[in-house]
Amino acid sequence: MNILRKIWCRSYQTVFYLAQPLLPYRDPEVHETIDDIPEILRRNNVNKVMLVTDNGLVKAGLAKRVEDVLSGAGMSYVTFSDTVPNPTIDNVEAARRLFMESGAEAFVALGGGSSMDCAKAAAARVVSKKHIPQMRGILKIHKRLPLIIAIPTTAGTGSEATVTTVITDGEKNYKYPISDFCLIPRYAILDYSLTTGLPQKMTSTTGMDALTHAVEAYIGRSLNKTSAANAEKATTLINKYLYRAYLDGNDAEARQNMLRASFHAGLAFSMSYVGNIHGVAHSLGGKYGTPHGLANAVLLPIVLREYGPVVYPKLATLARKAGVIEHGLDDETTAKRFISWIQEMNDKMDIPRTLSGINEADIPEMAAYADAEVNPTYPVPVMWDKVELQKLYHLAMVGNAD
């Protein structure tokens, strides 16, 4: 990367890092059962809500469980069930229209990252005249949103805890990451019973998505005591419970603790950001619809190896504090073993080492999108421009050495 651009990016990141103590970060209020929804709504003087979910959760009966809780408590609601994977601008606008036309006063987002992202973006559009492309980046909304209750049905995205939503431009095949403190849901309901039917493939990739959030926050240059503690907690829980949840979807302890892991990882990266892995993964999702968790899982060990010695000290510290690697080894050995552990986790959960379907001709365009997302916002340990980022796509096609 050009030296002047590096100086500009690092200066930008330093300003945000120094401002962290002054910024209005907050944690959602956590509940562990959907039965608490009516009381939350009454406490906030909400008479009608819009449930944002997807057709898969409707067919699985999970949406009806939430609807039954609402109707059983005499709460008025309307359901938007048309959320698509990688929600689009059109998707968000349809949700906004239904919210406005129905007279709803709050959002209940039920699902994975897609439903929560759709609800958060729709809430932003309800109060802002700005359109989604104009919200791209940091602190572009500046409005108080309607109440949002986020209910994850996967343990990975952490969207129930974050300042971020990611929306796809269906015409440009491009994802818009949007970050503002008003996007943090007021309430997060971590009800493990909603995740027990999650297929193994979804369990594995969303779990590794959560790990990617924790690791990228930890190795970045904006880590602080709070985000470090959250990343360490998330990694500890993932180490203990992800494979258990993968092997037995009805393991209540594993499922509940994976929801906690995802939540803590979300808190970590909400404060200290993600990095190059997410920039590349978002471009793949925008171009090909590549599932975000899958892209992150494949890219995580690849990119960590490419970073090399610059990340060894922090990776080693995280590995030791999370109990993944024993104490007593030097940083390089510990970090390399930690990366090998990540790869082994992928392998034993049948996550591929490469991503299929990447077209060589598309790589320069996707790398440019990743560059625009990452720089200067993400305080990555190593900065790469659009030319240097192209290597990561090639490695995702062929893999790199253990």
Domain count for the chain: 2
Backbone φ and ψ of 325, nearest 5°: -125, 140
pLDDT of the residue at 322: 98
Tell whether 205 and 187 lie within a shared domain: no
Final residue of a domain: which of 194, 211, 233?
194
Q: Can you give the CATH number for the domain in which 72 is found?
A: 3.40.50.1970
Task: Please list, residue by residue across 102-138, b when 16 or more beta carbons sit within 10 angstroms of its beta carbon and e when fewer do.
Answer: bebbbbbbbbbbbbbbbbbbbbbbbebebebeebbeb
Whether residues 42 and 148 fall in one domain: yes
Boundary residue ending a domain (158, 175, 194): 194
Question: Do 214 and 265 meet the contact criterion of CB atoms below 8 Å apart?
Answer: yes
**pLDDT (0 to 100) of residue 402:** 63
Q: For residue 177, what are the contacts with CB-CB under 8 A and spacing of at least 6?
A: 136, 137, 164, 165, 166, 282, 373
Residue 64, in any domain of the structure: yes
Per-residue model confidence as pLDDT tens digits over 119-166: 999 999 999 999 999 999 999 998 999 999 999 999 999 999 999 999
Give the separation between CA 381 and CA 128, rounded to whole angstroms. Answer: 35
User: Could you tell me if 125 and 204 lie in one domain?
Assistant: no
Q: Position 251: which residue type?
A: D
Task: Give the CATH number for residue 298.
Answer: 1.20.1090.10
User: Are residues 91 and 73 both part of a single domain?
Assistant: yes
The alpha carbon dihedral of 101, 105, 106, 110 has a sign of negative
pLDDT for res 172: 85
Q: Residues 175, 278: one domain? A: no
Residue 342 in tokens: 């990540």
**Domain range for 382:** 3-22+200-247+262-398
Same domain (yes/no): 108, 222: no
- Residue 118 belongs to a domain: yes
Instruction: Name the DSSP letter for residue 236.
Output: H
| 27 belongs to a structural domain | no
Q: Are residues 230 and 188 in the same domain?
A: no
Token pair recorded at residue 275: 């990095």
The contacts of residue 274 (CB under 8 Å, 6+ apart) are 212, 213, 216, 217, 220, 378
Question: Distance between CA 313 and CA 317 in Å, rounded?
Answer: 6
Question: Is residue 343 situated within a structural domain?
Answer: yes
DSSP state of 377: T
SS3 (DSSP) at 21 = helix
Q: How far is CA 48 from CA 71, 78, 325, in A?
A: 11, 8, 50
Residue 351 included in any domain? yes
Q: Is residue 255 part of a domain?
A: no
Q: Which residues of the chain have pLDDT under 70?
A: 401-402
CA–CA distances in Å: residue 174 to residues 133, 209, 375? 10, 20, 16
Q: Are residues 230 and 354 in the same domain?
A: yes
Residue 374 falls inside a structural domain: yes
Residue carrying the six token digits 């009516």:
38
Residues 83 and 110 in one domain: yes
**Domain annotation covers residue 69:** yes
What is the structure's pLDDT at 287? Answer: 94
Whether the CB-CB separation of 342 and 209 falls below 8 Å is answered with no
d(CA 2, CA 7): 9
* Rounded Cα gap, residues 10 and 391, in angstroms: 22
b/e 264-274 (16+ beta carbons within 10 angstroms → b): bbbbbbbbbbb
Cβ–Cβ < 8 Å for 206, 262: yes
Residue 219: predicted pLDDT: 98
What are the CA-CA distances from residue 330 to residues 23, 87, 316, 327, 333 (Å)?
A: 36, 44, 8, 9, 6
Q: Please tell me whether residues 171 and 218 are part of one structural domain.
A: no
Task: Write down the pLDDT at residue 347.
Answer: 98
Say whether both 189 and 212 belong to one domain: no
Final residue in a domain of this structure, among 150, 178, 194: 194
Q: Please state, as a whole number, how many other Cβ atoms lie within 10 Å of the Cβ of residue 68.
A: 12
Asked if residue 185 lies in contact with residue 37, where contact means CB atoms within 8 angstroms, the answer is no
Q: Are residues 41 and 134 in the same domain?
A: yes
DSSP bridge partners of 175: 168
Element (H, E) at 175: strand 174-179
